[in-house]
Amino acid sequence: MAGSSGVGGGAGGGQGAGAGPGAALRAPRAPLLLAALVLGAYCLCTLPSRCPPAARAPVPAPARAEPLRAVGSPGAPGLPVASGPGRRRFPQALIVGVKKGGTRALLEFLRLHPDVRALGSEPHFFDRCYERGLAWYRSLMPRTLDGQITMEKTPSYFVTREAPGRIHGMSPDTKLIVVVRNPVTRAISDYAQTLSKTPGLPSFRALAFRHGLGPVDTAWSAVRIGLYAQHLDNWLRFFPLSRFLFVSGERLVSDPAGEVGRVQDFLGLKRVVTDKHFYFNATKGFPCLKKAQGSSNPHCLGKSKGRPHPRVPAAVVQRLRDFYRPFNRKFYQMTGQDFGWD
């Protein structure tokens, strides 16, 4: 991996009197094997999750509802009712990015709305499960009634080159939500998540730069995700800017009701989720819900959210700020929003 220090060197010192030639051959392999295990575990941790199992086989449209009969009066016609609990539909809106930007928080906040039905897990359909087909994808979706919106979120869609064309093929009217965050902070948060699963990972500095503090290594996904302008260019080949809403990950923390209000407007929903639903959790450092969906108890995101970041030298942070600045400014121009990262 670019930026990682080399592994090797001699065994150092002479061999013991009882050591045979086999020992001399085996000794240098130990550090190489250790490095291979560490980097292999890192690669596994950075891969998206597996394709989720379908809830059941694709469900056809429900049969036409029978008229409701009045209880105790056989044959008497009653009011018509909807057939069953609704039907599975393709999502009308997707949270497509970005990883470690606040997508999980936004999804949980939106699920409080009675007209939003969202898949809880990330299906990764448009990036790595596409060969399973649209019928399989629809079978994953929650059932909705007329007037309700079906949603899902998979943050890796935003950086997957094939995703925009595939989503456009499903529906060119899909509404797209992108939660963005200062790319330097986002990269460090991304690294912290992977480090929690792979303690032997090289330092952030070693992965972010080639040759010490040489050129920034854009091949590293934690850095590459933050090139928002480049990724958006790919999406604008398929969708007009009017199909997008860009949500500030920072404002989602400082003013969750305001940002969620913008999302509700974008989705054409009444502003049901408001400031009365949130309280600030000082321990975690971000807002939590006063009541979870379907519960009267407060709800904060899991312990994996709000984890402390590793200490990164100031010189490394400044180099990354300088690197991202022109990309950020282009992104501001493209979206018509200044996110205040510079």
Known binding residue 103? Answer is yes
Known binding residue 132? Answer is no
Question: For residue 316, what are its two tokens?
Answer: 């490394």
Known binding residue 309? Answer is yes
Nearest to 228 by CA among 89, 330, 114: 330
Q: Which amino acid is at 140?
A: L
Known binding residue 100? Answer is yes
Question: For residue 229, what are its two tokens?
Answer: 């302008």
The span from the CA of 101 to the CA of 118, in Å, is 19
Known binding residue 277? Answer is no
Angstrom distances, CA of residue 117 to CA of 87, 169, 308, 325, 329? 11, 22, 32, 37, 35
Q: Return the active site residues.
A: 100
The alpha-helical segments, DSSP class H, found in 120-279 are 125-128, 134-140, 163-170, 183-197, 204-208, 221-224, 228-235, 249-254, 256-266
The span from the CA of 56 to the CA of 68, in Å, is 28
User: What is the three-class DSSP state of 300?
Assistant: coil
Known binding residue 306? Answer is yes
Known binding residue 138? Answer is no
Nearest to 119 by CA among 135, 104, 102: 104
DSSP 242: G
How many residues can be counted in the chain?
342
Question: For residue 28, what are its two tokens?
Answer: 């240098």
Known binding residue 189? Answer is yes
Cα-Cα end-to-end distance for the chain: 29
Known binding residue 80? Answer is no
Known binding residue 308? Answer is yes
The span from the CA of 271 to the CA of 273, in Å, is 6
The span from the CA of 153 to the CA of 158, in Å, is 11
Residues annotated in a binding site for 3'-phosphoadenylyl sulfate: 100-104, 181, 189, 305-309
